[in-house]
Structures are given as structure tokens and as C-alpha cells.
Amino acid sequence: MAEALVEIVLEQFVSIIRQQAEEGISVIAGAEREVEKLQSNFLSIQALLADAENRQVKENVVRVWLAKLKDVSYDIDDVLDEWNTELQKLKIKKAEDASNSLKKVRSFILHYLGCRPLVMRYDIGVKIKNLDRKLDIIAVERERFHFRPIIESSKEVERQIATSAIDLTEVRGRKKEKNSLVDLLLSQSSQQQVLPIISIVGMGGIGKTTLARLAFNDYKVNTHFDKKIWVCVSEPFDELNIAKAILESLTSSPSQLVELETVMQNIGRQIRGKKFLLVLDDVWTENRRNWENLKHTLMYGSLESRVLVTTRKENVANFIGTTNKILLGILPEDECWSLFSQLAIFETTNKEFEEIGRKIVKRCKGLPLAIKTLGSLLRFKREFEEWENVLESEIWELEEVEQEVFRPLLLSYYDLAPTLKKCFSYCAMFPKDYKIEREQLIKLWMAQGYLKSKDSKKDMELVGEEYFKSLTMRSFFQDFEKEEYDIDIYSCKMHDIVHDFAQFLTQNECYTIEVDDRGETELESSYDKVRHSMIKIQGGASFPSSIYTRNTFLRSLVVDCNYGTDPKIVLSKLVDQFTCLRSLSLNECSITEIPIEIKKLIHLRYLNLSWNESIKELPETLCGLYNLQTLDIRWCRNIKKLPQGIGNLINLRHLLNRETDGISYMPKSLEKLTGLRTLERFVISESSYGSKECCVKCLENFKHLREFGIKGLGNLRDVYEVKGIELNNKKNLHDLYVNFEGRMNEEQNQQLLEELQPHPNLEILILQNYSGNNISPNWMMSLTKLRELDLWDCVNCDHLPPLGKLSSLEILWIDGMKSVKRVGNEFLGIESDATSSSSSIIAFPKLKFLCFGEMEEWEEWNYGSTNRGDEDIAVMPSLETLKLNHCLKLKSLPNHIHQMTTLKKEIVGCPFFKEQRTDSWSSSSSD
């Protein structure tokens, strides 16, 4: 990981020197020689780092040397960032004074070359000299290790295939164990006097959790139990947190209870007399007393209930009173080969590859996780020598690694590019079984400077997507979740062994602190070395006060408040202490005020304040965070305005301001932020704010937008102002939200929609509060890449547009169209005089998800003939889910819906149909 840090530092040097030359300015004085020496030392060390990284696993002295190098590299990165920030300030000042008179400019130059800036320059110079001395010592120390330069091909992040996850359609070699486990879960005994506890025991990576999931999701198991609960336990065994997790699963709502006895009583009431299945995954404790309260409470349920435990230690199974034990053995050799060959995907006719592949599989010793890791590693290696290198690697002989499965993980890890190594190890900051949100993770990586590309014009967000896919392809992530029918992954988790491996690599550089109402977590002595930390605050706990006095060099701080806990964070103390922060996430932490001291976080790139609804304003000092890339204020509903100086955030790429209803206009300086990739809501005001307000016309310069939203489009003074946005020229725009609320009437709304024309690359379109009579702009059918269309509260539309013609549409939401009474052939896009050169027509060829909601006047959904001479019309052949919400007058459905026997349906608030969430259809209507 030191490789990535050294690379980041060297790039900082190059960037700063280039900027100084371009601007013709210098921020430091008297340290030029030290700067050159630092850069030279880093270059000489960089050439040897690959060998050092490889040797650190088995040579502790090398690990210590690398730790020293990392510490100095972090410190140098901070100083260079401080230097770079001064350059940013100068550039902004120059831009502000560009239009001033020569006299004022001269006055500014004389002022800036005076005492206060000189003190700042001297301070940076002194820091560089001190760090130069430290790096000198490290450079001398390296000589005794005799590192050898390793010439490696420049490793680029793979862009092998479009999908981001390998879909293993079946779990191999566990059919017999699964059947036995299901039988144990469903078995009944009249002699039974105690609650049966079934334990799956096996080494790490053997597939215990996978087997438990197979049984947990089995159809017969689903129908047998009244309640199913899954809790990840891990270490340490915390009775209160486990009990709360069980209660929250039973009630599907957060628990604010803080007393163990109260939680247990509530669990008892929820399960009384019911058959439940409780899975406790990854249990380590051997202390019987930890189980007593829980076991006593679980007896309130039916004796047909079951507890299923997974553990790596047979002693644990014995101590907890296991009634049935499944000792999970290694995967059979033929199943190992089947799994490996599916992942590695090579020509089975090539005997040479098959022979070496089988030898590699034997090295995995029947561990599915090891096989998945190496199969994923070799998936895109087509040279025989590359496979041979894996087989003959000395890593197989390492005795220093903590677990058997770490060896194949090391092989895969060492094959990563330096920045990818850093991205992976960064995930050690999150606790086990934590749901990691993909977009947030990418922004956190970006904030740390880990995303690199040879193409300087490439968006770092796209680089982050490639990094995430690459780590996914190597099986470092799992348990992917998507929004309904979205092609992009929303969140993922890490296998507990992979998480152990990440922590093994970081050696306390990344740390999770868990705090509950019983007191603060005891911080380890090594905590002072932590650079990235996540604080999980449970129940009614407060933010740990010791944090304010420890670890001044923290670069990432993510605070996870359990279901809106009020942690009482003194933010002014926090920003005083952690001035090195690159990332600060305080999502839903009951923050009430952002202190003016926020300006001290000059290194900050990522600031997440979302869901803090008590915040009323953002201080102007926040606009001094010149390095900020992401500002997330979503669901901060009481913020009244954005700061006037927001245009000084010259590096801002993502302004996430959805559901900030209190903001009534956009400040004038926003027009400077032409580098934005995300602008979730551009607000057009109801009244004029004069020179304070940013005009719509400035949006023509926002060429890089990928996600964009407009609120109050109907407040424009003239319909044709919308042309000034030039959406049709924004080829990168894939996600567009438009809210038409405002002063304009129905006819003007229709004109607005026509003039709004986006670029054909658009993939997601949301239209809300449109008051026109129809939604049929001339450009709509040109959106050949549109995957999702949402039409919300278009109350005056009395018929639906011909959406069946949209060839790529997969998701369609229609909600609040209160004037529609009938849906017919016009919806499919079938005109009576249509002709086709094809013998068949498909309406909605790719539609998978369809939802109608709040359609108060809708009575009929039917089509005319779907046969036209020689032409057959197929309707929604790919549809998987249909939702109907509060369609009060709808009485029947088209025949093609009835014929879809596998269609998933959800019906709520439709009097003529029974409410259901099953895969079968029921109707109470007479027909």
C-alpha cells in the first residue's frame, strides 16, 4: 500500500510545480533544494517498493520500515496539499481581481507578498525541511534490506466485461449437506423438551454461511416458519446488540431500547407461541453465560422453532448446547474443479491449461473461497506463464499468514495495481457484515486520491466504477443489492474472511470503533496510528469524548448513527482536532449547526451532512474548502439557502441537494462550478433575488453533467429560456429530473416540455408536476437508450403517450395521473394506419417493471386486436413485476397480464382486486 501513497505524493509534486509555472507564482521560499531532494528520494524509493511490499508478509523488519515510510508519506502528502491549497487561493484571488484597475491589482500583490503570506510560506518550508530529514533516515535504512527493483508491466484496471459481478447460478458440492440441514430444520419430535440448536462447524472460507443461506432461503423452510431472523454476530459477542438486532428483524423497525432486560421482554412477546428460525452467523464466544438470557427468552417461542449457528470453532458449538452438529468438510475435488473452471473460463480442450489448473485447485485444499479467489484472478490471464507463476509462487509456502485461505487472497492482492490495493485495504475501516454503498465508497476513494487514470480527461467517477468492478470480479465483494431492476449495484458486503484479510494488511491503519449506551469502547494503544476510522454509535450512546483528544492525523471519519441516535457531536471540537481529514461523513447524526471553524479542514474532499434536518444554514466559511469534491446535504430540509461564495469550491464535482425544499434559489456564484458532474436540484425561484441569483442561461456551460435536476421550471419568465440550458448538447447526461411546478399554465408547460429536448444518450428521465394535457414531445421517441421513465403527478394528462415504442425501456413508473380513464393501444404505440416491414411487432420489448399508482379515475385497461393481418403484436414479453397502488376504479386487466403466470404482482388499495404480494393472481370482480 506504500506504493500507492508514494505514487500520490509524486503526482502532487508534479502537479504543484506545473501549476506554479503556469500561474507564475511561488508559495514557499527557501526550501527549493529540500523539495528537489524529497522528490528525488521518493523516486529512488519507488523503484524498490514492489519488492518491499512482497517481502513484508514474511519479514517483520520490512513491514516496520514500510510503516515508517507510510507515515512520512502521509505527512508529506498533507504538507503538499497545504501548499497546493495556497495555490488554489491565489488562483481564485487572481480571477476575482482580473477586472479590477491596475492600481488595485498592484495593491493586492503588495499585500499578498507582505508579512502574513510570508509567514505561511515559511511555515510550509519548515515542514518540508523537517520531513526531508525524516525521509533521509528512511532512505538510508533501506540499504540494509538489499531490495531489488522489480520491473512490472504498468498495471491498468481491467475492463474485461460489462457486468460487474460473476453470477454463480448454483452452489456446488453442498446438496447433501443442504438436504440434511433442511430436514433438521423441519423435523418434529413429540419428545422434544428444549429448543433445538443446530451448529454448522468448519474452517474459515469453507462455506458455512453459504450453506446456512441455502437453507434459510429454501421454499419449504420459508413456508414452515412464522418468522425468520438472520443476525451476524462476529466478535465481540454483545448480548444487547444481538438482542436488538433480533427485535428489529421481528418488528421491521428500529429499536431505541437501551436495557437488555426490556429488549428480551419485547422479543418474548414477539415470538410467543410462534415457530421461528433464528440464524446466528459467525459465532466465536465460548462463554455459556453469554447465552443464558437469550436462550431463556427464545423458549417463549414454539418448540418447533430452530436456532442455526455457524462457527469456526467446535468448542463454541459444544458450549452453546448444540443438539445437532454439521461438520462441514472440504469441497469434493470434482466440485472444486467445476467451480474453478466456471470462473476461470478457459478452453477446456487445452490440456496444458487444464493440467496446471487442476494443480492450482489442489493448492486450494477444498476451500470454496480460495477457489473463487484464484478462479477470478486467472479469469483474464491467457498466457501459460501467468498460470505457472500462480502455481509456483512462494506465497504458498508462507507460514506467517494467519489463515490458510489468506495465501490465495495474497496472490490475488499482489496482482492488483497499487491504487487498487489501497482501495481494497481501505474497506477494512468498515465493520464486518457492513452494507457498503457503492457510490459512497467511490467518492471516499476519490477523496483519498486513490483513483488514477492515464487519460487525464477521464472522469474520476468513471475510474471509480472500473475499480469497483475490478475488485468485484476478483471476488473481494459479495452480497450485492440493487434498486428494483436497476443494472447498477447499490451496495455490497465483504466476506468475513476477506475482511479479516483486509485488516491483516492494514495492521490498525483502518479501525472501527463501536460505542453503545453502556460506555465508550476501549481504544487500543495502537489507535494513534489510525488514518481511517468508522464510529458505530448504538442505542442512546454519545459520541466518544476520547475521540476529541486522540489521533490528530485521521484522514477518514465515517460516523454511523444507529437509526437516528442523537450522538451529541461537538462539531467545533471535532474540526479543531482532525485538520487532516479528507472525508467526513455525519449522515443522520442530529447535527444542528455547522461551525465557522469548518474552514480549518482545508484538506477535506468529501463532506456528508445528509439527513440532518435541524441544520438551517451552511456558513460562508465552508466556501474556503477549496479541495471539496462532494457536498452531500440531501434531506436537510431546513437549509434556507446555499452560501453566496459556493463558487469558490472550484474542485466541487457533486452537489447532492435532493429534498432540500427550504432552498428557494441558487446563488450567483454557482455559475463558476462548470466542472460539476452532479447537480441534483437547480432551483428556479418564484421571485427575483436580483444580483444574488444564478440565471438558467449559465447552465449552458455545465458540459460535464451526468446527473441533473431542475425544480420550479414553471417559474421561468419565458418558455424559450429553457433552450439556454442546452440539454441536447450534454452528451454525458444520463439522469434527468424535471419538476414543472411554478406559474406557467398548461399550454406553456407543453411548450416547455417540447423545448426541453435532452441528448439521445439519456438513460433516466423523471417528469413531475407537469400540467399539460399530453406528454408527447417530438423528441421522446428518439431516446433510444432510455432505461427508466417516471411520470409523477401529471394531473391534467388524460391519456398516456406511446411509450411501447421505447426500445430500451426497462422501468416505468406512472403515478398521480388523475385524469386518465382508459389505457389502450395508444399506450403500446400501435397506430391504426401503422405499417411494418416485419412480420411481428413488440410493444415494450425490454420492460421488466411497471407501476401504476394513485390513478383515481382509471377504469379500463384493455387493447384492441393485437393481430393485424400478417402482423403479430407481442406486449411486454419481458415483464417481471407489476404494481398497482390505489387504482380505485380499475375493474379488469388485459389478457396478456392474465397469461403471464410467473408475473410478480403487488396490489394495494384497489377495491376490485384482492391485496396481494404473491406470484399468483386473485380478483374479486365478477369477471
What SS3 state is found at 339?
A: helix
User: How far apart are the C-alpha atoms of 516 and 33, rounded to whole Å?
Assistant: 51
Q: Note the maximum CA span of the chain.
A: 99
CA 14 to the chain's CA centroid: 31
What does the angle CA 900 – CA 901 – CA 906 come to, to the nearest 5 degrees?
A: 85
| Separation of alpha carbons 885 and 529, rounded Å | 54
Is the pLDDT score of 392 beyond 90? yes
**What whole-number distance in Å separates Cα of residue 545 and Cα of residue 522?**
12
Local confidence band at 865 (pLDDT 50, 70, 90 cut-offs): low
Instruction: Tell me the mean pLDDT in the region 236-259.
Output: 84
Q: What is the pLDDT confidence band of residue 51, given thresholds at 50, 70 and 90?
A: confident
Q: Which of 363, 458, 346, 442 is nearest to 409 (CA)?
A: 363
Q: Report pLDDT digits (tens) over 757-771.
A: 999 999 999 999 999
**Mean pLDDT, all residues of the chain:** 86
Question: Which pLDDT value is given to residue 917?
Answer: 54
Task: Give the pLDDT band (50/70/90) at residue 107.
Answer: low
Do the domains at 179-327 and 416-507 have one common CATH topology?
A: no
Q: Regarding the domain delimited by 331-415, which CATH topology (the fold level of the hierarchy) does it fall under?
A: Helicase, Ruva Protein; domain 3 (1.10.8)
Residues 488, 496 contacting (CB under 8 angstroms): no
Model confidence at 1: pLDDT above 80 = no
pLDDT surpasses 80 at 644? yes
Band the pLDDT of 448: cuts 50, 70, 90. very high
Q: pLDDT category, 86, cuts 50, 70, 90?
A: confident
pLDDT at 429 over 90: yes
Residue 326 confidence (pLDDT): 94
Q: CA–CA distance from 502 to each of 410, 424, 498, 534, 829 (Å)?
A: 10, 7, 6, 15, 53
Percent of the residues in the chain that have a pLDDT greater than 70, as a whole number: 88
**Exposure string for 224-235, b = 16+ CB within 10 A, e = fewer:** bbebbbbbbbbe
First-residue to last-residue Cα distance in the chain: 68
- Residue-wise pLDDT for 450-475, tens only, equals 998 888 788 899 999 999 999 999 99
Measured distance CA(107)–CA(492) in Å, rounded: 56
* Burial of 657 (C-beta count, 10 Å sphere; 0-12/13-18/19+): buried
Q: Which residue has the higher pLDDT, 90 or 907?
A: 907
Gap between the Cα atoms of 509 and 555, Å rounded: 10
Count other C-beta atoms under 10 Å from residue 707's C-beta.
20
pLDDT in tens, 553-609: 899 999 998 765 778 888 999 999 899 999 999 999 989 999 999 999 999 999 999
| More confident of the two residues 882 and 352 | 882
Burial of 163 (0-12, 13-18, 19+ CB in 10 A): exposed
**What is the model's pLDDT at position 349?**
61
State the pLDDT confidence band at 342, using cuts at 50, 70 and 90: confident
Q: Are 906 and 884 in contact (CB under 8 A)?
A: yes
Rounded Cα gap, residues 444 and 433, in angstroms: 19
Distance CA 339, CA 171 (A): 9
**122-136, 185-199, 508-522, range with the lowest pLDDT:** 508-522
Tens-place pLDDT, residues 495-536: 999 999 999 888 878 888 888 766 655 444 355 678 999 988
> Domain ranges in the chain?
2-145, 179-327, 331-415, 416-507, 798-927
Distance CA 434, CA 593 (A): 29
Whether 362 shows a pLDDT value over 90: the answer reads: yes
The residue ranking higher by pLDDT, 674 or 18, is 674
With a cut of 80, say whether residue 120 has pLDDT above it. Answer: no
Q: How far is CA 413 from the centre of its chain?
A: 21
Q: Please give the helix or strand (H or E) that residue 222 lies within, else none.
A: helix 219-224
Q: Of residues 98 and 525, which shows the higher confidence score?
A: 98
pLDDT number for residue 918: 44
Give the C-alpha separation, 531 to 248, whole Å. 33
Better-predicted residue by pLDDT, 242 or 679: 679
Q: pLDDT-based confidence at 873, cuts 50/70/90? A: confident
- Answer yes or no: is pLDDT of 920 > 60: no
Residue 489 pLDDT exceeds 60: yes
Element (DSSP H or E) covering residue 229: strand 227-232
Q: Which three cell numbers stand for residue 417?
A: 495495481
Q: What is residue 927's predicted lDDT score, i.e. its pLDDT?
A: 34
Instruction: Say if CB 261 and CB 292 are below 8 A apart.
Output: no
Residues 6+ apart with CB under 8 A from 833: none
What is the C-alpha separation between 918 and 881, in angstroms, rounded? 11
Predicted local confidence at residue 675, as pLDDT: 95
The pLDDT tens digits for 282-313 are: 998 887 777 888 888 999 999 899 999 999 99
Span of 382-391, 503-512, 853-862 with lowest mean pLDDT: 503-512
pLDDT attached to residue 327: 94
CA angle 354, 356, 362 (to 5 degrees): 100
Rounded to an integer, the average pLDDT of 37-64 is 86
DSSP labels, 795-858: TT--S---GGG-TT--EEEEE--TT--EE-HHHHT--TT---SSSEEEESTT--EEEEE--TT-
Mean pLDDT of 655-663: 96
Q: Among 297-311, 434-448, 829-843, 912-926, name the one with the lowest average pLDDT.
A: 912-926
> pLDDT band at residue 165, thresholds of 50, 70 and 90?
very low
CA distance 806 to 841: 13
Q: Provide the grid cell at 451.
A: 483513483
Helix (H, G, I), strand (E, B) or coil at 32: helix
629 has a pLDDT exceeding 90: yes
637 within 8 A of 613, measured Cβ to Cβ: yes
The three grid cell numbers given for residue 185, joined into one nine-digit string: 430444520
In CATH, what number does 179-327 get?
3.40.50.300
Torsion of CA 636, 637, 643, 649, to 10 degrees: 40
- Residue 43 or 188, more confident: 43
pLDDT reading at 321 higher than 90:
no
Distances (CA, A) of 350 to 338, 355, 638: 16, 9, 65
- Per-residue pLDDT band at 436 (split at 50, 70, 90): very high
Residues in the chain: 927
| Mean local confidence (pLDDT), 708-732 | 94
Report the pLDDT value the prediction gives residue 665, as an integer from 0 to 100: 95
**pLDDT > 90: percent of the chain:** 56
Better pLDDT: 752 or 840: 752
Whole-number pLDDT of residue 382:
84
- According to DSSP, residue 194 is labeled S
Of 88-92, 166-170, 460-464, 774-778, the least confident: 166-170
- Rounded to an integer, what distance in angstroms lies between the CA atom of residue 845 and that of residue 878? 7
Cβ proximity of 677 and 459 under 8 Å: yes
- With cell 410462534, the residue in question is 274
> How is residue 538 written as a grid cell?
448504538
d(CA 50, CA 563): 44
Q: What pLDDT does 818 receive?
A: 93
CATH architecture of 416-507: Orthogonal Bundle (1.10)
**pLDDT score at 398:** 83
Residue 722 has pLDDT above 50, yes or no: yes
